[in-house]
């Protein structure tokens, strides 16, 4: 049996994750009190035909403590069930925005402010995040992107490292993205803006990419950048970082930065153990 525990911060996407697993043939249940989890697992197996894929959602409302979770996992192991823990996370800013947009109350806020409830929950669930087999930060993920990451883990059974990389092109004239972790300036590359036929196009067009890459300098830069990231990403994972935003900028965010971001995405997306997405903040068309 594959037994997955889905947990994490309230508002980070637990219900969505369970729906994805249900769509993929998992028998799912949510918010079962911890003392009943062992019985739930037993009944899942005993049902006619049995279930070989089970997912259970637990959160701060089910009385999560480190000791209670340890005992639960030991009892399941006694049944021969090895659990995988998926922890869904998001930044405090994103969680706060989601709660304000939906006008829901945070389960731990009670009469306090939402940010206080988020802080309390983050502290109480820290042990569970450390124990998790998979951590997905949903701060910048669309539902389809979360679905894709979960399919890699729980359907395709690919190797997965707990980090999601966003490659983001931008224009310096509009400001550096605030959530950038690494910023690379590619304004030294040939600028298609000064070629009349290329000016209205963008870095996704082959003619623009050919122009930017023509001298070989762009290719050398791309090789060195890819080598740097392939070297450093495992260390970011070891440090517990779950989200990395790599911002690549040119003057207007239309040609050079888009070209390099597209090329870098193609290289990094071959590494199935990392989740990778591509965004063009300032590109027109």
Structure confidence at residue 157 as a pLDDT band (50, 70, 90): confident
Residues with Cβ within 8 Å of 8's Cβ and at least 6 positions away in sequence, in order, are 14, 59, 86, 87, 88, 89, 125, 129
What pLDDT shows up at residue 49?
Answer: 60
Are 198 and 133 in the same domain? no
What pLDDT shows up at residue 4?
Answer: 93
Domain containing 43 equals 2-154
Helix (H, G, I), strand (E, B) or coil at 195: coil
Closest-CA residue to 7 (of 93, 67, 65): 65
30-55 average pLDDT score: 79
What pLDDT shows up at residue 107?
Answer: 75
Are 81 and 209 in the same domain? no
Are 187 and 133 in the same domain? no
pLDDT top residue among 35 and 109 = 35
* DSSP tag of 104: P
User: pLDDT tens digits, residue range 76-116?
Assistant: 888 888 899 999 999 999 998 988 887 777 777 667 788 88
Give the CATH number, domain containing residue 110: 3.40.50.300
Are 203 and 236 in the same domain? yes
Domain end point (choices 116, 136, 154): 154
pTM assigned to the model: 0.70
pLDDT top residue among 261 and 2 = 261
Domain end point (choices 133, 154, 175): 154
Domain end point (choices 129, 154, 179): 154
């Amino acid at each position: 049996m594959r037994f997955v525990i889905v947990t994490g911060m309230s508002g980070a996407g637990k219900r969505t994750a369970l729906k994805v697993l249900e769509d993929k043939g998992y028998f799912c249940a949510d918010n079962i009190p911890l003392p009943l989890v062992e019985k739930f697992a037993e009944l899942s197996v005993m049902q006619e035909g049995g279930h070989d894929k089970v997912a259970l959602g637990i959160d701060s409302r089910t009385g999560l403590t480190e000791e209670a979770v340890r005992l639960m996992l030991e009892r399941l192991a006694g049944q021969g069930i090895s659990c995988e823990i998926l922890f869904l996370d998001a930044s405090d800013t994103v969680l706060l925005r989601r709660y304000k947009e939906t006008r829901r109350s945070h389960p731990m806020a009670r009469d306090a402010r939402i940010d206080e409830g988020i802080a309390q929950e983050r502290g109480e669930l820290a042990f569970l995040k450390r124990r998790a087999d998979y951590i997905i930060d949903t701060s910048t993920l669309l539902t389809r992107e979360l679905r894709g990451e979960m399919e890699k883990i729980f359907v395709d059974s690919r190797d997965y490292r707990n980090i999601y990389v966003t490659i983001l092109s931008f224009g310096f004239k509009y400001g550096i993205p605030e959530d950038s972790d690494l910023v690379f300036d590619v304004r030294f590359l040939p600028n298609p803006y000064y070629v009349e036929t290329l000016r209205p196009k963008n870095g996704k067009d082959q003619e623009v990419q050919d122009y930017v890459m023509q001298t070989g300098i762009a290719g050398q830069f791309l090789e060195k950048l890819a080598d740097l990231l392939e070297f450093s990403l495992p260390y970011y994972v070891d440090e517990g970082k779950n989200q990395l935003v790599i911002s690549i900028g040119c003057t207007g965010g239309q040609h050079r930065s888009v070209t390099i971001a597209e090329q870098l995405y193609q290289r990094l997306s071959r590494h199935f153990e990392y989740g990778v997405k591509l965004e063009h903040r300032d590109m027109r068309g």
